[in-house]
A and B are shown apart, each in its own frame.
Chain A
């Protein structure tokens, strides 16, 4: 079953008189439980595509259907609900709330979906245990290593059982060894049935995925399924 259907999407930024084409008609279908890497040099439009897939931004034209829902013309608040329920973000810079401990950071998506406190804590604890942070629940981000921080953000991405995990350069701020650990975690999540999209410019990170989509100048250059 198709999780994502992207049809002829464009994104145009108007810089005064000039029009900047970030995406020039992208078509992309993603099945459930795929593990896909989106690659491209900087300025290729991969970040724009990721923002649109992540419902952080809307396309200028074209259709985007996520999990059966037409999202290309939703307003801000509707998109917020979609992000909350359907998408789990993992960022390069972790993007955790600095003043909150791991548990609260992981609880956050559940707070926004109105889950009761007791259930929230139970689910957040489970998610943290799943990423191997059983004894780091009351630690604040600055008391954790980079790898641990990224695990917290993976736990946060997973806690609301999204249909899609969207990781933007998840190993960009980690050393090779820790990066490999995180990639192993993603592999495990994929094996457990999660759909994962990784945006990266590193060839060896992309090699972990089963399918690699390369973008250049706002268009898909290649789309290769390896396994």
Chain B
């Protein structure tokens, strides 16, 4: 008997069986519905977190090294770090003058302050002191106006760049360029507005900041701070070489003895990525375990219902066998039935999780259910359909025709 004809016929049979027992089929499929909803939402959430991470990490810059007093993700004893010396302007200048592979080098230093404009004020704005090269190490453009120049930077001019959040707080319908804002009691002239950057991992906004010349920063807030030096490599492919070079220059200027370890950190985006990957792979594994557990419970439910269904239809199986159905035909009939039930469960599950993913996208984090998740959902429900249907179907297939015809 033709295979596809058989499948088609069996789908029809299972359709009738499912329609005849709507409530039972619905309850049987509930476990799979929940399982598939969980699996697909889980994957969608991970996709969303990944996207959020990618857009956040872009702000760190793939080709930028951050020379700092500490490593971002160090895991040594506190003792190792306690006595480290600050990174100074002198070290920055030495690095800038000696690096051959750096495209741009700038020192940065930051603090959190209240910013005022007229009678309005904005609390906890991140004030960054840097040089004119900051813009080049930063992967963000100037939206309006211009960045400050080397002359303004070195001359400690009272000028600033503002982030989008600051603009939105003070200048709803006014061009901010040329206006004066106050940091503490000091006045700064706005030269430009930075393009919107969004938030860092959804934790804090990258737009809630004001950038001023570093010399000006020192005059107001003092010099007793450790710097972070941003180094943009000429070529992202040679990032490792640049990292080597910077390490050796810093060791020289910080007089680290031969054989001793660096007393500073050269940080880069991949450090974030590694830590992120470690963290999310754990979440993924746990998520997979939990969601597949719910699928297993669901398939046990289906297997149970299929056993009942086979028992109940003993007579039907007898009739079919008497009329010429082979073992394989009966096996297929019940396998197709359990697969159809699971597939329906999968489709219902997807039609629940898809709108939820749209809600997540609208209110929680930017995400979308990728096509492969839909395919995965369908595939998993097919697989569990076959798995949970196999033993009941096998039972049905090996029934004795005489006995099953006698069954009432």
Name A residues whose Cβ lies closer than 8 Å to a Cβ of B: 51, 54, 56-57, 76-77, 80-81, 83-85, 89, 91, 95-97, 99-100, 108-109, 111-114, 116-117, 156, 160
Set B318, B327, B405: member contacting A77, Cβ < 8 A: B327
Residues in B whose Cβ lies below 8 Å from that of A112: 1, 320, 323-326, 329
Q: In the complex, what distance in Å separates the CA atom of A226 from the CA atom of B327?
A: 42
Closest CB of chain B to A124's CB: distance in Å? 13
Are the C-beta atoms of B405 and A56 separated by less than 8 Å?
Answer: yes
- B20 contacts the other chain (Cβ, under 8 Å)? yes
> Are A85 and B324 interface neighbours, CB within 8 A?
yes
The 8 closest A-B pairs by CB, nearest first: A84-B324, A114-B1, A112-B324, A77-B326, A80-B326, A56-B401, A95-B319, A109-B323
* Residues on the A chain within 8 Å of B297, using CB: none
Inter-chain contacts of A109 with B (CB < 8 A)? 323-324
For residue B327, give the distance in angstroms from its CB to the closest CB of chain A: 6
Contact A80 B324 (CB under 8 A): yes
Residues of A within 8 A of B327 (CB): 76-77, 80
Q: Indicate if B328 sits at the interface (CB-CB under 8 A).
A: yes
Partner of B328, one of A77, A99, A116: A77
**Residue B321, interface by CB 8 Å:** yes
Quick one: which of A81, A91, A112, A114 has the most chain B CB within 10 A? A112
Chain B residues, CB < 8 A from A85: 324
B9 touches A111 (CB 8 A): yes
Q: A51-B402, A95-B315, A112-B329 are in contact. Are A84 and B323 (CB under 8 A)?
A: yes
Chain A residues with CB under 8 Å of B315's CB are 95
Complex formed: what's the CA distance from A156 to B9 in Å?
A: 18
- Cα separation A156 to B319 with both chains bound (whole Å): 12
Complexed CA–CA distance, A56 and B401 (Å): 6
Interface set, chain B 275-310, CB cutoff 8 A to A = none
Instruction: List residues 250-287 of chain B with CB under 8 A from any CB of chain A.
Output: none
In the assembled complex, B24 has its CB within 8 A of some CB on chain A: no
Are B324 and A113 in touch, CB under 8 angstroms?
A: yes
Residues of A within 8 A of B16 (CB): 99-100
Give the one of B9, B316, B321, B323 with max A CB within 10 A: B323
Add 17 more A-B contacts to A108-B323, A116-B5 (CB < 8 A). A54-B322, A76-B326, A80-B321, A80-B325, A80-B326, A80-B327, A81-B324, A83-B323, A83-B324, A96-B319, A97-B319, A99-B16, A112-B320, A112-B325, A113-B324, A114-B1, A114-B2
Q: CB-CB < 8 A to A89: which residues of B?
A: 322-323
A57–B320 touching, CB < 8 Å: no
How near does chain B come to A138, taking the closest CB pair, in angstroms? 15
List of A residues within 8 angstroms of B319 by Cβ: 95-97
- Which of B2, B5, B20, B405 is close to A95, meaning CB atoms less than 8 Å apart? B405
Q: Which residues of A contact B402 (CB under 8 A)?
A: 51, 56-57
Residue on A nearest B17 in the bound complex, by CB: A99
Interface size counted on chain B using CB atoms at 8 A: 24
Q: How far is the CA of A45 from the CA of B322 in the complex (A)?
A: 20
A12 to chain B, nearest CB (A): 15
A117 partner residues in chain B, CB cutoff 8 A: 5
| CA gap between A88 and B327 in the complex, in Å | 19
CB distance from B330 to the nearest CB of A (A): 9
Give the residue of A81, A95, A100 whose beta carbon is less than 8 angstroms from that of B322.
A95
Complexed CA–CA distance, A108 and B319 (Å): 10
- Taking CB atoms and an 8 Å cut-off, the chain B residues in 352-408 that contact chain A are 401-402, 405
Which residues from chain B contact A54 at a C-beta distance below 8 Å? 322
With both beta carbons as reference points, the residue of chain B lying nearest to A168 in the complex is identified as: B405
Q: Give the complex CA separation of A227 and B215 in angstroms.
A: 128
Return the chain B residue nearest A83 by Cβ. B324
Q: Which residues of B contact A91 (CB under 8 A)?
A: 405
Give bound CA distance, A111 to B326, whole Å.
Answer: 12
A residues within 8 A CB of B405? 56, 91, 95
- A residues less than 8 Å from B328 (CB atoms): 77
Query: Whose C-beta in chain B lies nearest to the C-beta of A79?
Result: B401
Q: How far is the CA of A112 from the CA of B324 in the complex (A)?
A: 6
Smallest beta-carbon distance B240→chain A, Å: 67
- Do A97 and B326 touch (CB < 8 A)? no
Q: What's the least CB distance linking A227 to chain B, in Å?
A: 31
Contacts of B329 in A (CB 8 A): 80, 112
Closest A residue to B324 using CB positions: A84
Q: How far does the alpha carbon of A111 sit from the alpha carbon of B320 in the complex, in Å? A: 11
Q: A77 to B328: give the CA distance in the assembly, Å.
A: 8
Q: Could you tell me the distance between the alpha carbons of A56 and B316 in the complex, rounded to whole angstroms?
A: 15
* A89 CA / B321 CA spacing, docked (Å): 11
- Chain B contacts for A80, CB-based, 8 A: 321, 324-327, 329
A76 to B5, CA, bound (A): 22
- Contact at A113–B322, with CB atoms within 8 Å? no
Residues 130-169 of B, flagged 1 when their CB comes within 8 A of A and 0 if not, give 0000000000000000000000000000000000000000
Q: B324 contacts A156, CB within 8 Å? A: no
- Chain A proximity of B20: nearest CB distance (Å): 6
Contacts of A97 in B (CB 8 A): 316, 319
Q: Which residues of B contact A84 (CB under 8 A)?
A: 323-324
Report the bound CA distance from A159 to B315 in whole Å: 21
A80 closest partner in B (C-beta): B326
B20 contacts across to A, CB distance below 8 A: 99
Q: How far is the CA of A160 from the CA of B325 in the complex (A)?
A: 14
Specify which chain A residues have a CB less than 8 angstroms from the CB of B5 in the assembled complex. Answer: 111, 114, 116-117
Within the complex, the shortest CB–CB distance from A82 to chain B, in Å, comes to: 8
A77 partner residues in chain B, CB cutoff 8 A: 326-328
Question: Whose C-beta in chain B lies nearest to the C-beta of A82?
Answer: B324
Nearest A residue to B12, CB-CB = A104
